[in-house]
Structure 1
Amino acid sequence: MKKWMKKGIAVAVAGTTVFSLAACSGGGEKKSEDEMKIGSDIIKDEVTLQVSASKGKMQDFITAVTDIYNEKNDANVSVEFVTVASGTATVQMITPKLVSGEEMPDIVSISDDKAAGVMEKFEDSFYSAEDYGFFDQYGSDFFEQKLNILRAQSANDKIIAFPNDFTAAFSYYQPEAFEAVGVNFEDIKSWDEYIEVAKKVKDATGLYGIALPEAGEFEFFVDLMSQQGMPLVDKDGNINLGTQEAKNAAEIVKKMKDAGIVNFYGSQDGEKAFQECAMFVAGGWYAKNMELNFPDAAGKWRMSALVPFSEADAGKSPVSGGSSWYVPKDGKNPEVALQFLTFISTDEDCLKAALEGGVAVSNTKAYETDAAQTEFEYYGNQKYYDVISSTGANTADVYYTPSYSDATAYVSTASYAYWESGDYDGSYMKEADNYAQKYGVKVNN
């Protein structure tokens, strides 16, 4: 059993009565979990599914696939979007509802880096996609690393959620900026080489080499660790800041700062800062966002895998974002929700609709559809789903433990101190010790 799961067991047991009572309330008599299995007859009654999902492309996706679901199954499902939390459904906002036994939406989207905090205490409050039989039938269709992330959320490696989107971190770059100094960006063989090229690009064009938050950052640092095969925390929640891989990552970021190629930005200015760079790093999920938010930049940008870590070893692709669908036992229509999620996660037309709407789903079959071959005019007619598919199959291990988000906050604090002092022990190791003491874990060397 995972160390970080032990605390949550008492809470989950204490809440058993609340949840079992709630499972009998509202919407008529429900089947037991054992009675609900994949392959049962589609429910055709008129049903409104309450869905908690972020506004924008995720809600647009659900709206589009609801029409497909009804048409192909002769069903009568409508969707009502509700808010469990602003943005991603965070531990802090879901927990009170689960503790009190309040009625929950039928389907809840939770970001993968937050879900372990919910599962730690309330795993038994959600139906299991694995017990439902979803992965027996469709598991081989999904990126393995996505499933590994979901397995690690539970106490016994059982997958609770239906996997949704999943992307690696990418380099978004302006080819003309690099051509101005006689370089093809995708020929760059290491971060050290990139720093030297970026200095020339800045002198020639005024564009920075990367954008980072001015108050300290963790995402790019963690990406650099991941390229070397080292996650920020291990599966037991121990933090890996004492490793050589972490020191290498910190050194690369410090070199960038000292070279004057970093565009530092305030908390609200990240996207603007990206546009002032010849290259920036973000997840594949950002591709559609940039197209919507900066239409005048059409044709300037391309996407590629991250710059290789070194000439000797290009490294793995870091995971950067993803979310999954959960079916609470306190929802009104769990069987319809399970049938609906099974269909939209596997049906070819639904997978095409996802890609057409900018949702990079984790089902590899999506990248065999016509939609995956779409040329995006904004990115110079690049087929960027080819990039998403190839990197998705080569992603690094990552463990989103309940304390993962807090670990990233310690890294951000450490990074700022390190940029100013160059003292690794007095910055990263100091914050690693603080984190380890707070959570009763180790600092791995």
Structure 2
Amino acid sequence: MKLKRMLTSALGLLLVASLAACGGGGDSKTDSKSADSAKDLAKEERVEKASIEVYMPQGKNTDYLLKSIELYNKKYNTELELKPVDVAPAIPMVQKVTPKLVANEKMPDLIFLQDSNAGSVFEKFEDLFYSSEDFGFVKDHGKEFYKAKMNMLENIAPSKKVYGFPNDWGNASMFYNESAFKEAGVDMTAVKTWDDLIEAGKKLKEKTGKKLLFMRDTGELDLVKYLTEQQGVSLFDKEGNLNLLDDAVKTSYEIIKKLQDEDLVAYGNSKDYTVIGQDCGTIFAGGWLASYQAGDYPDDAGNWRIGAIPAVEEGKDFSPMSGGSSYYVPKNSDNALAALQFITFALTDKEALEAYMDLSGLPANTTAYKSEVAQKEFPYYGNQKILVTLDEISQNSVEGYAFPYSADLDNYIEAASYDIKNNGASVDEALKKQADDFASKYGVKVNE
């Protein structure tokens, strides 16, 4: 591996010289493949001219970086250009970059990757990325970000070194149709626990005919994870051991059974859950849903609100995780130094963060929520200051961990849920079967 890096480094130097000779490489400071450590790059002067290629999803995140690069160029009198390539940040991103990493091909300067999927990349390719910790980002800015977000990034790479530049952090919230609950005579501000919510759901169904919430017809998954994490239990512990047999998981299934027994559930395909949920009393989702709900369902303007999910046990509650993404800088790219300098700015500059929030983005940087923009009222949610609400929910986030096999656990939970509901399996036997199968496949320990 050392010889491979030395050869790659030498070839990189030859390419730099070749590009500089023919005038095709832009500013001589833009190419940084010869630097093996971000600590070395942190000492370099600011890149004046470069084209930064980014693999990222089209939409608000692209718009955010385009606005950020305008602000960056204005502040530093530079000529950086952003070249976004539309790639979804979860499995499609892993599938896009893995063959390039295997073949040591040219990479983009930045990639945007979901935290839950990053472990599968860093398990094999940690040494092919620059560390945000080595670049000084964590020391200079780490305390500005949600603790749970930084905890996640600290546990993705095998070395436990931080590589990600933290963009957003999502915690599951309860979107609820306040108008429908009012019609049913329910004051949602008085709903504190899941027992309260089930009682509210019974009234909602009786008075309006609406079901309380959506569940997957292929086997419930999201609610199992949310309820478990609300009790302070992550499905993996810090060492990567599986917590699927924890009592908290069994309590989650008890609550789900109550919902099913009271006929409060609308079933459907997972891809349709927001469509079906819009006709229910509640939707459980990350704050990202607010970016779409108003545009997709304008006729419901003013009816909906956002709040924390009711507690499993009043007085003891955590906000469950619901996604989060970060930027990563590959070493084998043309303008890694410019990318490192730029993404540091985009994730910490006040104006850039405000621009992201204007686009309904939810920065992981907590300083963003102290700005005037965070006080913005949203007419769709009855002029609620939803950014403040979502920040309060995220401040109470459970701490979780990501491993190369984390994402695959969803399939096992779904299978357990299906066996319990449709095949008459007990909760204990269904969970034991899936835990054993998962442990056998990945060689992990199951906590009992």
Query: What TM-score results when the alignment is normalised by the length of structure 1?
Result: 0.92
Contact kept? 2:212, 2:265, Cα under 8 Å? yes
Pick aligned residue for 1:165 from 150, 154, 168: 168
Question: For residue 373 of structure 1, what is the aligned residue in structure 2?
Answer: 375
Counting only pairs closer than 5 Å after superposition, residues 410-429 of structure 1 correspond to structure 2 as 410-420=412-422, 421=424, 423-429=426-432
Check 1:19–1:357 CA distance in 2 against 1; reply closer, same or farther (3 A cut). Answer: farther
Q: How many residues align?
A: 431
Residue type of the alignment partner of 2:371? T
Counting only pairs closer than 5 Å after superposition, residues 97-116 of structure 1 correspond to structure 2 as 97-116=100-119
Summarize deviations over 1:338-360 as a string: whole Å, max 9, x none: 11011111110001001001110
Question: For residue 408 of structure 1, what is the aligned residue in structure 2?
Answer: 410
Contact kept? 1:88, 1:109, Cα under 8 Å? no
Counting only pairs closer than 5 Å after superposition, residues 194-273 of structure 1 correspond to structure 2 as 194-273=197-276
How far did 1:67 drift? 1.1
Question: For residue 329 of structure 1, what is the aligned residue in structure 2?
Answer: 331
Check 1:433–1:19 CA distance in 2 against 1; reply closer, same or farther (3 A cut). Answer: farther
C-alpha separation in 2, matches of 1:287 and 1:15? 47
Does residue 344 of structure 2 align to residue 342 of structure 1?
Answer: yes
Question: For residue 187 of structure 1, what is the aligned residue in structure 2?
Answer: 190
Pick aligned residue for 2:41 from 36, 41, 53: 36
C-alpha separation in 2, matches of 1:82 and 1:322? 20
How far did 1:299 drift? 1.0
How far did 1:274 drift? 1.2
How far did 1:136 drift? 1.2
- Local SS of the residue matching 1:308: coil
How far did 1:430 drift? 0.8
How far did 1:88 drift? 5.5
C-alpha separation in 2, matches of 1:21 and 1:409? 44
How far did 1:392 drift? 1.4
- Local SS of the residue matching 2:133: helix
C-alpha separation in 2, matches of 1:361 and 1:412? 30
Question: For residue 382 of structure 1, what is the aligned residue in structure 2?
Answer: 384
How far did 1:204 drift? 0.7
Check 1:184–1:16 CA distance in 2 against 1; reply closer, same or farther (3 A cut). Answer: farther
How far did 1:405 drift? 0.8
Does residue 52 of structure 2 align to residue 49 of structure 1?
Answer: yes
C-alpha separation in 1, matches of 2:187 and 2:288? 24
Structure 1's unaligned 5+ residue stretches are: 1-11
User: After the TM superposition, which parts of structure 1 deviate over 6 Å for at least 4 consecutive aligned residues?
Assistant: 12-15
Check 1:264–1:69 CA distance in 2 against 1; reply closer, same or farther (3 A cut). Answer: same
Question: For residue 9 of structure 1, what is the aligned residue in structure 2?
Answer: none
Question: For residue 96 of structure 2, what is the aligned residue in structure 1?
Answer: 93
How far did 1:178 drift? 1.8
Alignment RMSD: 1.9
Which stretch shifts more, 289-298 or 25-34?
25-34
Residue type of the alignment partner of 1:393? Q
Contact kept? 1:235, 1:401, Cα under 8 Å? no
How far did 1:422 drift? 5.2
Residue type of the alignment partner of 2:295? L
Contact kept? 2:186, 2:203, Cα under 8 Å? no
C-alpha separation in 2, matches of 1:87 and 1:345? 20
- Local SS of the residue matching 2:277: helix
Counting only pairs closer than 5 Å after superposition, residues 7-18 of structure 1 correspond to structure 2 as 16=5
Contact kept? 1:366, 1:372, Cα under 8 Å? yes
C-alpha separation in 2, matches of 1:15 and 1:195? 60
Contact kept? 1:44, 1:76, Cα under 8 Å? yes
Summarize deviations over 1:108-138 as a string: whole Å, max 9, x none: 0000100011111111111111100111111
C-alpha separation in 2, matches of 1:94 and 1:417? 36
Pick aligned residue for 1:357 from 337, 354, 359: 359
C-alpha separation in 2, matches of 1:21 and 1:100? 17
- Local SS of the residue matching 2:134: helix
Residue type of the alignment partner of 1:291? A
Summarize deviations over 1:342-396 as a string: whole Å, max 9, x none: 1111110001001001110100110011110100111111101111111111100
C-alpha separation in 1, matches of 2:248 and 2:358? 38
- Local SS of the residue matching 2:171: strand
C-alpha separation in 2, matches of 1:19 and 1:191? 57
Residue type of the alignment partner of 1:355? M
Identity %: 36
Check 1:151–1:15 CA distance in 2 against 1; reply closer, same or farther (3 A cut). Answer: farther
Residue type of the alignment partner of 2:337? E
Contact kept? 2:229, 2:398, Cα under 8 Å? yes
Structure 2's unaligned 5+ residue stretches are: 17-24
Counting only pairs closer than 5 Å after superposition, residues 79-90 of structure 1 correspond to structure 2 as 79-83=82-86, 89-90=92-93
- Local SS of the residue matching 2:330: coil
- Local SS of the residue matching 1:160: coil
Query: What TM-score results when the alignment is normalised by the length of structure 2?
Result: 0.92
Contact kept? 2:90, 2:114, Cα under 8 Å? no
